[in-house]
Structure 1
Amino acid sequence: MKDELFADLLASAEEMVNIEQGKQSPKPEHVHTYSEIDVKSIREAAGLKQQDFALAVGVSYDLVKSWETKRRQPTGAPRKLLLLLQANPGIIKQLIAIGR
């Protein structure tokens, strides 16, 4: 490993430790926050059971349960799809039709 690369890696590790110990705050551009999505209300607005909603959205039934109980938060493409469904609930019918 090149000395420069090692020094950068070591500095990153030290920064992480300082942040964990409260001695330093992370740079704002390195902090990502997401607003919570109320998956249950989106599903209920669509009038679907958890199993049917999972099929329509293309995720597992267990993942929908985890979202609804707040054990996990949707990320990536599923998050974007849920935000789209939240803004346009009628799209769920198209998703169901595509899945058949």
Structure 2
Amino acid sequence: MEKELFEGLVESIRQMNAIEKGEMEPARVHRHHVPNVKSLREASGLRQDEFAEVVGVSASLVQSWEQDRRIPSGSSLKILLMLERNPAIINELRAV
């Protein structure tokens, strides 16, 4: 098993060198757009703790998102994307 792991590592290094030399294209990685949480929150006129309550997470998580220490995911990411597209839904979320 260790030999297989080592061979995989060596192959990865070969691919990296080929990509750097332009001999190979890097694999495409699908990345989600991540909204700017601080901008969304500020546009809503809410403090971090208020915004956290509306989104359904802790204030410390909102702070981590704003400081780029954590990346939103799952249902939180979907809610943030919805807020980015339609900021007016903040009022609907507040009512829930």
Shared fold (TM-score, shorter chain, > 0.5): yes
Deviation string, structure 1 residues 71-96 (Cα, Å, up to 9, x no partner): 11111211111010011111111111
Residue 20 of structure 2 corresponds to none
Match of 1:78 in 2: 76
Structure 2 length-normalised TM: 0.73
Alpha-carbon shift at residue 34 of structure 1 (Å)? 2.6
Contact 1:37 1:73 in 2 (8 A): no
5+ residue gaps, structure 2, are 17-25
Q: CA deviation at 1:58?
A: 0.4
Question: Which residue of the partner structure matches residue 53 of structure 2?
Answer: 55
Aligned-residue CA RMSD in angstroms?
A: 2.2
Distance 1:50 1:92 in 2: 14
Alignment coverage as a number of residue pairs: 83
Q: Which runs of 5+ in 1 are unaligned?
A: 1-5
* Percent sequence identity over aligned pairs: 46
Give runs of ≥4 in structure 1 deviating > 2 Å: 23-28
What does residue 24 of structure 1 align with?
Answer: 15
TM-score by length of 1: 0.70
User: 1:64 corresponds to which letter in structure 2?
Assistant: V
